[in-house]
Amino acid sequence: MRRLTLRTRLGDERGAVGVMVALLLVPLLGFAAIAVDLSAVQSERAQLRNGTDAAALAVATDCAWRPDCGDELGTATALVSGNSGQAGATVSTPTVQLGPVGSQGQSVTVTATAQQKHWFAPVLGRNASTVSAASTAAWSGTSRATAKLPLAIGRCEYDKHRSRPSVSMEASNSGCTGAGQANMRFVWLATDSGSVCQTTASVGAQVARSAGGATSMPSACANQSQYLFDLVGTTVLLPVVDDSQGSATSYRVYGFAAFKVSGYDLGTGKSWAQMSWFERLLAIIDFLIRLFTGQGGGSEKGLVVEGSLTTHVQLSDARIQTSAPDLGARSVFLTEQR
Helix (H) or strand (E) holding 281: helix 277-292
- Whole-angstrom Cα distance, residue 77 to residue 126? 28
Task: Give residue-wise pLDDT tens across range 35-58.
Answer: 777 787 888 888 999 999 999 999
Which residue in 73, 78, 81 sits closest to 47, CA to CA?
81
Between residues 249 and 188, the one the model is more confident about: 188
Q: What's the pLDDT score for residue 10?
A: 52
Q: What is the pLDDT of residues 112-165, one digit of tens each?
A: 999 888 777 676 677 888 899 999 999 999 999 999 999 999 998 999 898 888
Length of the chain: 338
- pLDDT at position 296: 45
Q: What is the pLDDT of residues 275-311, one digit of tens each?
A: 676 666 666 666 666 555 544 443 344 678 889 999 9
In three-state secondary structure terms, 3 is coil
Summarised one tens digit per residue, pLDDT across range 185-203 is 899 999 998 778 999 999 9
Asked whether 51 and 82 are in contact (CB, 8 A), the reply is yes
The CA–CA distances, whole Å, from 12 to 6, 7, 18, 111 equal: 10, 9, 12, 61
Using the predicted structure, report yes or no on whether residue 261 has a pLDDT greater than 90.
yes
| Cα gap 46→35, rounded to integer Å | 17
pTM, rounded to two decimals: 0.77
- Confidence at residue 32, expressed as pLDDT on a 0 to 100 scale: 66
Q: What is residue 193's predicted lDDT score, i.e. its pLDDT? A: 84
Q: How far apart are CA 230 and CA 45, in angstroms?
A: 45
**Amino acid identity for residue 333 in this structure:** F
**How big is the CA angle at 293 (ends 288 and 294), to the nearest 5 degrees?**
100
